[in-house]
Amino acid sequence: MVATAATSSFFPVTPSPDSSDSKKKRLGNGSINLGGIKSKTSSSGNLQVKANAQAPPKINGTKVVTPPAEVFKNEDGVSFHPPRTFINQLPDWSMLLAAITTVFLAAEKQWMMLDWKPKRPDMLIDPFGIGKIVQDGLVFRQNFSIRSYEIGADQTASIETVMNHLQETALNHVRSAGLLVDGFGSTPEMCKKNLIWVVTRMQVVVDRYPTWGNVVQVDTWVSASGKNCMRRDWLVRDSKTGEVLTRASSIWVMMNKVTRRLSKMPEEVRGEIEPYFMNSEPVVAEDSRKLVKLDDSSAEYVRKGLTPKWSDLDVNQHVNNVKYIGWILESAPLPILETHELSSMTLEYRRECGRDSVLQSLTAVSDNGTDEIECQHLLRLEDGSEVMRGRTQWRPKNAKISGNVGQIPADTA
């Protein structure tokens, strides 16, 4: 269509005498307006035609001035036009070149929009452009740049920032696999049965916190854990050096979002997620020590009156699990926060809390005679119901940690 329009603009079509005669016959008497041609019948009965001047042609929005036709004069001074030859009937080549260039650029743009496929066949890129699946489709990888609003007073990323990166990659992993339908990571079969994922246990080890402007690379994968649970692991590294920054492992179970009760894993759901399981050991060795239940007599520091904000709720209408970490640190003593940094934590989520919940944060400090400090934590509702137990380890700030270049565990299936 574009080529036809371009050609017709340079090679005007001359109407045939037959068509001209037939048009005259159809005009007849009276006043007629056809496409800018005004005609009316004079008093003498002759047909007078007045043609409106046409606007100069445009190419890419620029007016093109057509040079006037060349006129010659004979010896007697009578003007006449040169004879019609092949040479003087050729089009203006600059206009033709401009039209060809326009068509070429439009075709190139369309081709670039269609050429979205990955260049490497061994690497599948998710359609949302937020990460990629590697290692035979079992590991999801995503990079994050540490923003200025994600760092704290120590000019390093906060533990909440690290946890948000873990949560984001987990969701993007499910979405890139084509299993995300509704809610936080719910698969199609889970949606049919009103099931959602909830985390019950989390272990995190931080070797070094990134700073503003650093780019971290987060790898995550899932594995089976018992009959009704799923384990998800994360490995966070410096994208430039490969240095391991954070390792984390978590256990997830299913809950009915209507009854808010835990549920067994249906076989239909297992069939959806089992092809993505990696047969590997946890990236963090399980800490089998029992978490202590604190009360008013054993807790040294208590913070009361903690309430969720609307922005703390996730799409499943309960408080995001990352918010719990901020709450348990609310009762941590300030001298520890000023001189130490969180190096590891073990969390057990026991109950969800909603928008109207009012919570209390309890902390007890254990001094083992070294520079490192261990704290026990409890997050509970005002009526005493446990929401989360936790244990955190703290090391002196600026302590040198021997980092190793981490490797994703190989699938031993």
Confidence of residue 101 (pLDDT cuts 50, 70, 90): confident
Residue 128 has pLDDT above 60, yes or no: no
Residue range 138-184, pLDDT digits in tens:
999 999 999 999 998 888 999 999 999 999 999 888 888 777 766 56
Residue 79 has pLDDT above 70, yes or no: no
SS3 307: coil
Residue 72 has pLDDT above 60, yes or no: no
| pLDDT of the residue at 153 | 85
Confidence of residue 318 (pLDDT cuts 50, 70, 90): confident
Residue range 267-285, pLDDT digits in tens:
999 999 899 999 999 999 9
Q: Is 228 in contact with 264 (CB distance < 8 Å)?
A: yes
Alpha carbons 361 and 123: distance in angstroms, whole number: 45
- Is residue 142 within a helix (H) or strand (E), and if so which, with residue range? strand 139-145
Alpha carbons 242 and 260: distance in angstroms, whole number: 41
Residue range 6-52, pLDDT digits in tens:
444 444 444 444 444 444 444 344 444 444 444 444 444 444 444 44
Q: Note the Cα 12 to chain centre separation in Å.
A: 52
| pLDDT of the residue at 188 | 86
Among 355, 356, 337, 357, which Cα is nearest to 397's?
337
> How does DSSP classify residue 227?
T
Main-chain phi, psi angles of 37, to 5 degrees: -100, 115
Structure tokens of 250? 């978590």
Alpha carbons 98 and 93: distance in angstroms, whole number: 9
Look over the chain and give the mean of its residue pLDDT values, rounded to a whole number: 78
Residue 163 amino acid letter: M
SS3 372: coil
Average pLDDT score over residue span 99-122: 63
Among 43, 343, 357, 98, which Cα is nearest to 205's?
343
Alpha carbons 162 and 146: distance in angstroms, whole number: 10
| pLDDT of the residue at 131 | 83
Q: Catalytic site residues?
A: 316, 318, 353
- Spell out the residues 6+ positions from residue 173 whose beta carbon is closer than 8 angstroms to its own: 131, 133, 140, 220, 221, 222
- Spell out the residues 6+ positions from residue 363 whose beta carbon is closer than 8 angstroms to its own: 294, 299, 300, 301, 302, 328, 331, 332, 333, 375, 376, 377
Q: CA 77, 81, 84 angle in degrees (round to 5)?
A: 150
Residue range 207-216, pLDDT digits in tens:
999 999 999 9
| pLDDT of the residue at 26 | 42
Alpha carbons 173 and 259: distance in angstroms, whole number: 27
Q: Is 123 in contact with 129 (CB distance < 8 Å)?
A: no
Q: What is the Rg, in whole angstroms, of the alpha carbon atoms belonging to the chain?
A: 37
Give percent above pLDDT 90 in the chain. 45
- Spell out the residues 6+ positions from residue 41 whose beta carbon is closer than 8 angstroms to its own: 29, 30, 31, 47, 48
- How, if at all, do strands 244-256 and 195-206 pair? antiparallel
Residue 137 amino acid letter: G
Residue 341 amino acid letter: E
Confidence of residue 82 (pLDDT cuts 50, 70, 90): low
Rounded to two decimals, what is the model's pTM?
Answer: 0.66
Residue range 382-406, pLDDT digits in tens:
999 999 999 999 999 987 555 444 5
Q: Facing residues of 215 across strands?
A: 145
End-to-end CA distance of the chain: 57
Among 326, 396, 393, 335, which Cα is nearest to 361's?
326
